[in-house]
Structure formats: C-alpha cells, structure tokens
C-alpha cells in the first residue's frame, strides 16, 4: 500500500500559488502533524499516554525532587521543600557508598555484558543447528529467566555458599572467605549469576536474528573453503550485528538496574558494600531512610551514566548499521 | 531505556501518588466518632487476637464499627506504612508501628499526637510506667502507644550443648560464652555456635550488637542527648566480642535462608518470646539473658525490647473512636488475651504480677516477663533509620568482615551519627 501511495504523489509542487494541497485536497502541514495515516495516531495514543504517565512525568518529577530539599509528606501536611540547587548531587557524589556502588556496577557490566554477548551468541548458534533435544535445551536456558529471582537465588546459594557444591568440588582451591562474602569475588559472582539467569532471553534474541541470515551466505563461504569457525566469524557474527547491538544495550540497561540479586544473594550489598548497586543504595536512601531527594539524585546520575554508556556502546557496536 | 528510568523513578512514584490523595486532615478533631479502619500484623497468632478484639468492640458499638485487615504485604511494614501516609490512605490505627520509624512518620505529618486527647498522656504513662519515657518524641509528645515487647534473650539448644559435654551452660560472661561456643563447634554439635543475620539491613544490629550493648551499659540507648554512645569502652567490648565470634568462625558472615536454630545449624539464637511457639516440637531449648563482659547478675541485665507499638495516623477522620478503640485494645483484659494468644509481652507495668495466672501455667514465658521490665528501645531521634544504617555499615565492615578495626569503625560511625542526630 505504501509503495502505491508514494507512486501517486507528484514530486513537483502542483500548487505554485502556495496552497499546499495534495491531490486529495489535504494540507501538507496537517500531514506533517498527523502523517499520511491519521489512524496511526489513534493507535499510538494509548501508549503515548502510558509513556507520559509512567515515564516522562516520573522522570521529570525525579529531576525536580533531586533539586529540592524534598521528603514525602501526608496530603494536607504543611511542609517546606526549598530549592537546594546541586546540594543533593554534592551529597551523593561525596558519599563513599554511592561512589563504590557506581564502581561496582561498572565491574558488573565489564563482566556481564561481554559474557552475555559471547555466551548467548555461541549457544544460540548451537541451538540453531539441527541437534537432538533442541527444544529441550532452548527451554532449559529460558527457564531461569522466567523463574522468580527469589527461587533461583536459593539454587545459587546452594552452589556458592562456603560449604556449597562449588567449594566441595574445588576442595582446598576454594576461596577463603567464600564467594559471596569475599570483597573481591562478591560482585563478579553476582555478575556471573545474572548472566546465567538472563541468558535465555538473549539467546532468544539471537535465535530470531539467526533466522534472517541467508543460507546462501553460508553456502558461498563453504564454496570458498571456509570451515565452521570461519563461517561463524565471517557470516554469522556480521549477520547478527543488529541483534548484538540490541543485546549489548539491553544487557547494559538491565545491569545498571541491578537490585534484586545483590539484595538477595549478599544480604543487602555485602560484604562491606562490595556488591551494592546504585539502585540498592537509591532504595536505601530514598525509601528506607526517607530521603527521596538523595535517592532521586542517584537515579538521575544513573540515567545520565547509562545514556552515555549506551551512546558509546552504540557508536562502537552498532557503527556498521549507521 | 524505559526500565532504567522506571528504576530511577521508584523513589518518586509515591510522591506522584500523593498528588492524587485527598487533601487536608485538619478538619478532624479528637472527638469525631464513626467507623474506622485498623491494620494489624500478619502472623497467625496476632491475626487471631485482632479478630476477636474487633469482634468484641463491634458487638458493643454498632455506630462505630471497626474494619480490620492485616497490614498489606510489602518488603517491610515500615515501607508500606510510609507509602500509605504519603498516599493519604493510612488507616486510623496500625498495631505494628516500629518505634524506629516514628520520627520519620512524624516528620511526614503522618501521625496524630496522643497528647491531644485529654487523657492521652496519662493513659500512656499509667499503662506503661517509666518505660513510656523511651517512646516520647523530641518535642515531648507521644506519637505512639507502647504496646508490646519481645525482649531478646539467648536461646540454646539443650541437645547440642549436651553433645558438647555442657549440661547446664553458664553463659553470663563473654569468656564463658566464647568457651561454650568453641566447645559446641569443636564437638560438631552444630556448625556454628550462633547465627545472627549478617546481612546489611539497618535493623539487624538490634539482634547482635544492641542487646549486648544494652546489657553492658546497664540500659543505655545507642544515642542519648543527641550524641552517639557506642564509641565507648562498653561498645568496644561488645564489638570485640562479636569480632572474636566471627573471626573464630563461631558465627557465620554468610546469609542463611531459613532458621539456623531450628535447622540445627546454630546451637544458639538471639530471639524474643515470639519464637517459643515456633520452636515448639522442633528444638529442646533453654533460655538465658545476654552475656556481659563481667557477668552481671540476671536481675540487672537489660536487653533490646524489639517492641511494636500502636500509632494513630493523620488520615483518620474519626479520631474519637480511634482513641477509644486504642484504649479498648490495650486494656488489661485485651492485653491478657494478647499475651495468651501470642506469648508477647504487653508493655505494661508489672506484667508478671498482673497476669500471674498465665505465667504460672506457662513458666517458659516467666523469664521474659521479668526481662520485659529491663528493656532498651531504639532512640526516638530524627533520622533514626539513617543512623541505624550508618551504624550497621560500620559494624558490618569491621566486626562481621574484619576489614577495619572495630574501635576505629565505631569512632567513625559515631561522628557521622552525631551529625545526623543534630539535623532535623
């Protein structure tokens, strides 16, 4: 339909008098506002309203709160919430716990994102092949993703506590202090856990992308004498680049939102804040301690940080798309 | 991106709700009467007591009916209550108000001072006696009615101790406690001697450091007269005691899912009388007061109260009825029913003598009744939760994980807490 419509639109302006009317008599300005298919506006409107209500308004309000001496109060309560300038940001940036949490999440992302990309692509590639029990394996990888965090954390604790399965296998090579109470290992352990838990979702993204890689390319590569590994590197990897961009961005955003895992696995960011995440600190300061202004400042910094990181990632990972 | 921003907006979502809430409660006065709503805790025993209390009230007050429900599920009742205050839909009374949160709720304009009722102050003080003073706010008013306490003591597993060759354990001094702990672990009677939660939530210090600090100091609160009190010889002794427990692996720094005492993973637990019902048929237990460095006699030992109180919330319109229900629910008769149903100690003067018959029939609770007269509450100061989190961070870093000298960590935390206590 779109192609047909385009073909009927004349390229030259048929109304030299300045009345920009289409053959059907419509105004160009109106077209620009509502598009060629006005019904699209009606279809998109509910989601726009939804976005405005749960995204734009809260975000704007969060920014407002972060610049005020703000706390939650009962309706009707007379309280003062004076403008505080950058005081909340200064408080946040001078708080060692917050700085450490941002550092922790960087460690997390450095481990989690590459691991996610590599493992999910390799596993998706394997699961895309004609292997026996393919559906079983696909479901197996997906189950942790859809299972409640509280339930799967129990499995991980069983594996990684000091007398857990992993340490039993390692014997004298087991770390002391153990994984989740070791300052150096707590965050990497959380990063590996999250990678494992979310792998199924990213495998699905890659599986979908792999369906779009033309079999002709593999045949051509085979004709040129490329083996499996070379085909993977020269056909599969470039072929799924859009999916890789998506996986990197989604993994980064998900990782920056880290909360449940350190809370459940390491008892609230232990040891000594070594696994605390910005969202965990935001929750403590904003909700538990009744300082939403501080919590919002952390949130705004997190959003800005993630945006910058996403831009950098897109510049590197998605450059060929551009 | 939407997920990130949604996460960032968690903190402000309550405020957004606030904008939609009903405005202004100033029209309510202390004499208005009519139907009210209340929330109570969600453990089975308290629910049973709450239901009979409400039924008894409603049977006599057709025009002032009480609608009751369990406190809505959330991560903690404090967060649920804070959200309800902000949204303007808190009930009239909540029989599960944590004293640590009262200063925050008060700052939010969420609480009704009980002193506003003509007999408010006298009722609170007559019922609870001297203990009531700990629950007074900085402005000298009562925003909470001291309701019940769960004085924490040391439970020990008789079988585990017997396996370690200890028949009648003496756990009055730190040395005795450590010696018994070493024996229990060496004999493999339990993997750990005791297992206080090592996690970083602000309230966890109420069940490791604070009871022993209360005992060591003869009943001092964490903050007194606007100053931190724990960076003292007594505080250092307590911190060093627990440091030894962790360093010698007599206690575990790892999070435990479940009840370590019931599971037999730990031979001791620091708990209040609520646990008696939980342990019934699962552990053969004995109970002793928390230890002190020099071994004070049991009759002088103070401990943490682990109290939950009743507060009236500013969203309440029919405050006259709410006050009458509050007095009815904390009357001698209802307190007795509460004690019988839950085993928790009403915060009344002379609990042991008032309910002598109950304690004669249930001697295992008698020790707790005696201990209930010497309890220490969390200080009722501004920024209470932040103060406890600051303390917990320092304690966790130094005592549980040994990454700093406990004395230095307490000094650093005390400086920060002095600042916090001085802020509004």
Q: What is the 3-state secondary structure (H, E, C) of chain B?
A: CHHHHHHHCHHHHHHHHHHHCCCCCCCCCCCCCCCEEEEECCCHHHHHHHHHHHHHHHHHCCCCCEEEEECCCCCCHHHHHHHHHHHCCCCCEEEEECHHHHHHHHHCCCECCHHHCCCHHHHHHHHHHHHHHHHECCCCCECCEEEEECCCEEEEEHHHHHHCCCCCCCCCEHHHHHHHHHHHHHCCCCCEEECCCCCCCHHHHHHCHHHHHHHHHCCCCCEECCEECCCCHHHHHHHHHHHHHHHCCCCCCCCCCCCHHHHCCEEEEEECCHHHHHHCCCCCEEEECCCECCCCCHHHCCEECCCEEEEEECCCCCHHHHHHHHHHHCCHHHHHHHHHHHCCEECCCCHHHHCHHHHHHCHHHHHHHHHCCCEECCCCCCCHHHHHHHHHHHHHHHHHCCCCCHHHHHHHHHHHHHHHHHCC
**Alpha-carbon span A87 to B146, nearest angstrom:** 38
The whole-angstrom distance between residue A30's C-alpha and the CA centroid of its chain comes to: 37
What distances in angstroms separate CA A276 from CA A292, A318, B404, one per listed residue?
Answer: 18, 31, 18
Q: Is residue A6 part of a domain?
A: no
Q: Six-digit token pair at B203? A: 């309230």
Query: What is the nearest CA distance from B298 to chain A, expressed in angstroms?
Result: 33
Residue A59 lies in a domain: no
CATH of the domain at A174: 1.10.3720.10
Q: What is the pLDDT of residue B15?
A: 37
* d(C-alpha A225, C-alpha A219), whole Å: 10
| Residue A22 tokens, joined | 């289409």
The CATH T-level fold of domain B14-150+306-376 is: D-Maltodextrin-Binding Protein; domain 2 (3.40.190)
> Tokens 């004690």 map to which residue?
B339
Q: Which residues in B lie closer than 8 A to residue A59 (C-beta atoms)?
A: 5, 8-9
Classify A83 as helix, strand or coil: strand
CATH class of the domain at B153-304+382-422: alpha beta
Which residue has 């009230």 as its token pair?
Answer: B57
Which residue of chain A is at minimal alpha-carbon distance from B386?
A: A289
A192 part of a folded domain: yes
Please tell me whether residue A27 adopts helix, strand or coil conformation. strand
Question: What's the number of domains chain A is made of?
Answer: 1
- Helix, strand, coil shares of chain A as percentages rounded to 5? 70, 0, 30
* B125 contacts chain A (CB < 8 A): no
| Backbone phi and psi for residue B92, each to the nearest 5 degrees, phi listed first | -70, -45
pLDDT of residue A7: 40
Q: Is the CB of residue A217 less than 8 Å away from at least one CB of chain B?
A: no
Output the pLDDT for position B304.
97
Contacting residues for A219 by C-beta, under 8 A, at least 6 apart: none
State the pLDDT at residue A284.
Answer: 93
With contacts defined as CB-CB under 8 Å, which chain B residues touch A81?
Answer: none
The angle at the Cα of A244, spanning A242 to A248, to the nearest 5 degrees, equals 125
Number of Cβ atoms within 10 Å of the Cβ of B45: 16
pLDDT at A22 (0 to 100): 53
- All residues of chain A having their beta carbon less than 8 Å from the beta carbon of residue B25 are 74-76
* B308 beta partners: B148
Q: How far is CA A220 from CA A125, A130, A135, A208, B83, in A?
A: 18, 20, 29, 22, 63
Q: Please give the C-alpha separations between residue A15 and each of A18, A23, A28, in angstroms, as whole numbers.
A: 6, 10, 12
So what's the pLDDT on residue B88? 95
Chain B residues whose CB is inside 8 A of the A310 CB are 1
Which of B385, B413, B411, B398 is closest to B239 using CA atoms?
B398
Residue B65 has pLDDT above 90, yes or no: yes
User: How many percent of chain B have pLDDT more than 70?
Assistant: 93
Of A289, A285, A288, A290, the residue nearest A71 (C-alpha): A290
What Cα–Cα distance (Å) separates residue A212 from each residue in A142, A205, A242? 21, 12, 11
3-class secondary structure, A178 = coil
DSSP state, residue A289: S
Q: Which residues pair with A275 in a beta bridge?
A: none
Q: Which of B15, B315, B397 sits opposite A72 (nearest CB)?
A: B15
CB atoms within 10 A of CB A173: 7
Give SS3 for A70: coil
ipTM: 0.85
Q: B79 touching A, CB under 8 A?
A: yes
Q: Do A180 and B255 touch (CB under 8 A)?
A: yes
Which residues of A are less than 8 Å from B22 in CB distance? 75-76
State how far the alpha carbon of A1 is from the alpha carbons of A17, A40, B183, in Å.
30, 15, 84
> What is the C-alpha end-to-end distance of chain B, expressed in Å?
37
pLDDT of the residue at B16: 38
C-alpha separations of A110 from A199, A248, B285 in Å: 16, 11, 49
Best interface-test mutation with B: which of A63, A72, A302, A305 has the largest number of B CBs within 10 A?
Answer: A72
- Assess whether pLDDT exceeds 90 at residue B109: yes
- Residue boundaries of the structural domains of chain B: 14-150+306-376, 153-304+382-422
Which of B8, B88, B198 minimises the CB distance to A62? B8
d(CA A121, CA A205): 9
- Of A187, A267, A295, nearest in space to B393 by CA: A267
Is A184 an interface residue toward B (CB < 8 Å)? Answer: no
Give every CB contact of residue A315 below 8 A, 6+ residues apart in sequence.
Answer: none
> Could you give the CA distance from residue B193 to residue B243 in angstroms, rounded to a whole number?
14
C-alpha–C-alpha distance, residues A134 and A128, integer Å = 8
Q: Is B5's pLDDT higher than 70?
A: no
Question: Does residue B152 carry a pLDDT above 80?
Answer: yes
* Chain mean position to CA A282: 18
Query: B339 forms bridges with which residues in the sheet?
Result: none
Q: Which two tokens stand for residue A311?
A: 């831009």
Query: Is A26 part of a structural domain of the chain?
Result: no
* pLDDT for the residue B388: 97
Mean pLDDT of the B185-206 span: 96
Tell me, yes or no, whether A27 lies in a domain.
no
pLDDT at B221 exceeding the cut of 70? yes
* pLDDT over 90 percentage in chain B: 86
Per-residue pLDDT of chain A (322 residues; tens, 9 = 90+): 333 344 444 444 444 444 445 555 567 777 777 777 788 888 989 999 999 999 999 999 999 999 999 999 999 888 889 999 999 999 999 999 999 999 999 999 999 999 999 999 999 999 888 777 778 887 888 888 888 887 888 888 889 988 899 999 999 999 988 999 999 999 999 999 999 999 999 999 999 999 999 999 999 999 999 898 999 999 999 999 999 999 999 999 999 999 999 998 888 887 889 999 999 999 999 999 999 999 999 999 999 999 999 999 988 886 655 4
d(CA A117, CA A121): 6
Any idea which of B8-22, B284-298, B403-417 has the lowest mean pLDDT? B8-22
Q: What residues make up the domain containing A135?
A: 87-317
- Reply yes or no on whether the pLDDT at B200 is more than 50: yes
Residues B236-288: pLDDT tens digits? 999 999 999 999 999 999 988 889 999 999 999 999 999 998 898 999 999 99
Spatial contact of B303 and B290, defined as CB atoms under 8 Å apart: yes
Tokens at residue A291, please?
């300082």
Please count the CA atoms within 13 angstroms of the CA of B420 that sit on its side-chain side: 26
Q: How many CB atoms lie within 10 A of CB A42?
A: 10
Provide the pLDDT for residue A319: 60
Using DSSP, state whether A167 is helix, strand or coil. Answer: helix
DSSP for residue A214: -
CB contacts under 8 A, B 362-391 vs A, are 383, 385-386, 389
Q: Does A322 fall in a domain?
A: no
Predicted confidence band at B121 (pLDDT cuts at 50, 70, 90)?
Answer: very high
**Spatial separation of the C-alpha atoms in residues A193 and A258, rounded to whole Å:** 12
Residues in B touching A101 (Cβ below 8 Å): none
Q: What angle do CA A205, A219, A116 make, to 5 degrees?
A: 25
Query: What is the reported pTM?
Result: 0.86
Question: Which secondary structure element, helix H or strand E, spans residue A297, and what is its range?
Answer: helix A292-317
């Amino acid at each position: 339909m779109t192609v047909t419509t385009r073909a009927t639109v004349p390229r030259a302006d048929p109304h030299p008098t300045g009345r920009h009317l289409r053959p059907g008599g419509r105004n160009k300005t109106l077209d620009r506002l509502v598009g060629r298919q006005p019904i699209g506006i009606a279809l998109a409107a509910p989601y726009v309203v939804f976005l405005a209500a749960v995204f734009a308004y809260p975000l704007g309000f969060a920014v407002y709160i972060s610049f005020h001496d703000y706390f939650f109060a009962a309706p009707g309560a007379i309280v003062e919430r004076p403008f505080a300038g950058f005081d909340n940001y200064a408080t946040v940036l001078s708080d060692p716990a917050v700085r450490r949490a941002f550092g922790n999440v960087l460690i997390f992302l450095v481990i989690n994102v590459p691991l996610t990309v590599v493992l999910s692509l390799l596993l998706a590639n394997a699961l895309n092949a004609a292997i026996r029990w393919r559906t079983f394996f696909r479901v197996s990888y997906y189950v942790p993703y859809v299972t409640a965090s509280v339930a799967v954390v129990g499995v991980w604790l069983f594996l990684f506590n000091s007398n857990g399965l992993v340490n039993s296998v390692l014997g004298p090579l087991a770390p002391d202090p153990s994984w989740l109470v070791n300052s150096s290992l707590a965050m990497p352990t959380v990063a590996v856990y999250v990678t494992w838990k979310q792998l199924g979702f990213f495998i699905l993204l890659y599986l979908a992308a792999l369906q779009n890689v033309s079999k002709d390319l593999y045949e051509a590569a085979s004709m040129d004498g490329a083996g499996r590994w070379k085909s993977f590197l020269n056909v599969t990897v470039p072929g799924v680049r859009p999916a890789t961009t998506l996986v990197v961005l989604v993994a980064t955003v998900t990782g920056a939102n880290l909360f449940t895992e350190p809370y459940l696995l390491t008892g609230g960011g232990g040891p000594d804040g070594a696994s605390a995440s910005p969202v965990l600190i935001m929750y403590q300061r904003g909700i538990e301690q009744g300082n939403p202004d501080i919590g919002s400042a952390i949130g705004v910094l997190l959003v800005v940080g993630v945006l910058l990181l996403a831009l950098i990632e897109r510049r590197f990972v998605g450059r060929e798309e551009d | 991106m939407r997920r990130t921003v949604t996460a960032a907006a968690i903190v402000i979502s309550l405020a957004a709700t606030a904008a939609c809430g009903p405005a202004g409660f100033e029209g309510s006065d202390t004499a208005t009467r009519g139907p009210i709503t209340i929330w109570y805790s969600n453990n089975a025993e308290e629910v049973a007591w709450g239901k009979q209390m409400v039924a008894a009230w409603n049977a006599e007050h057709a025009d002032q009916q009480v609608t009751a429900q369990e406190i809505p599920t959330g991560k903690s009742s404090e967060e649920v209550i804070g959200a309800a205050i902000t949204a303007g839909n808190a009930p009239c009374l909540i029989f599960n108000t944590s004293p640590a949160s009262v200063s925050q709720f008060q700052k939010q304009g969420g609480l009704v001072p009980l002193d506003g009722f003509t007999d408010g102050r006298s009722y609170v003080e007559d019922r609870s006696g001297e203990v009531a003073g700990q629950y007074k706010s900085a402005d000298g008013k009562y925003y909470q009615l001291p309701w019940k306490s769960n004085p924490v003591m040391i439970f020990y597993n008789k079988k585990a101790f017997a396996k370690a060759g200890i028949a009648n354990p003496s756990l009055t001094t730190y040395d005795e406690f450590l010696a018994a702990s070493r024996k229990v672990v060496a004999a493999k009677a339990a993997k750990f001697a005791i297992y206080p939660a090592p996690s970083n939530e602000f309230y966890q210090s109420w069940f490791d450091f604070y009871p022993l600090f209360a005992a060591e100091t003869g009943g001092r609160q964490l903050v007194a007269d606007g100053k931190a009190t724990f960076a003292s010889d007594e505080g250092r002794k307590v911190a060093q005691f627990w440091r030894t427990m962790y360093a010698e692996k007599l206690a575990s720094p790892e999070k435990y899912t479940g009840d370590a005492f019931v599971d037999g993973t730990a031979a001791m637990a620091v708990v209040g009388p609520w646990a008696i019902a939980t342990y019934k048929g699962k552990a053969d237990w004995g109970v002793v007061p928390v230890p002190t460095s020099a071994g004070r006699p049991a009759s002088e030992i103070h401990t943490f109260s682990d109290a939950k109180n009743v507060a009236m919330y500013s969203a309440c319109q029919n405050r006259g009825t709410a006050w009458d229900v509050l007095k009815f629910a904390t009357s001698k008769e209802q307190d007795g029913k509460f004690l019988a149903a839950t085993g928790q100690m009403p915060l009344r003067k002379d609990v042991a003598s008032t309910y002598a018959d109950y304690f004669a029939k249930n001697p295992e609770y008698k020790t707790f009744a005696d201990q209930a007269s010497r309890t220490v509450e969390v200080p009722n100061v501004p920024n209470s939760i932040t103060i406890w989190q600051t303390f917990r961070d320092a304690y966790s870093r130094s005592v549980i994980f040994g990454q700093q000298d406990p004395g230095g960590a307490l000094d650093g935390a005390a400086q920060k807490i002095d600042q916090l206590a001085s802020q509004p």
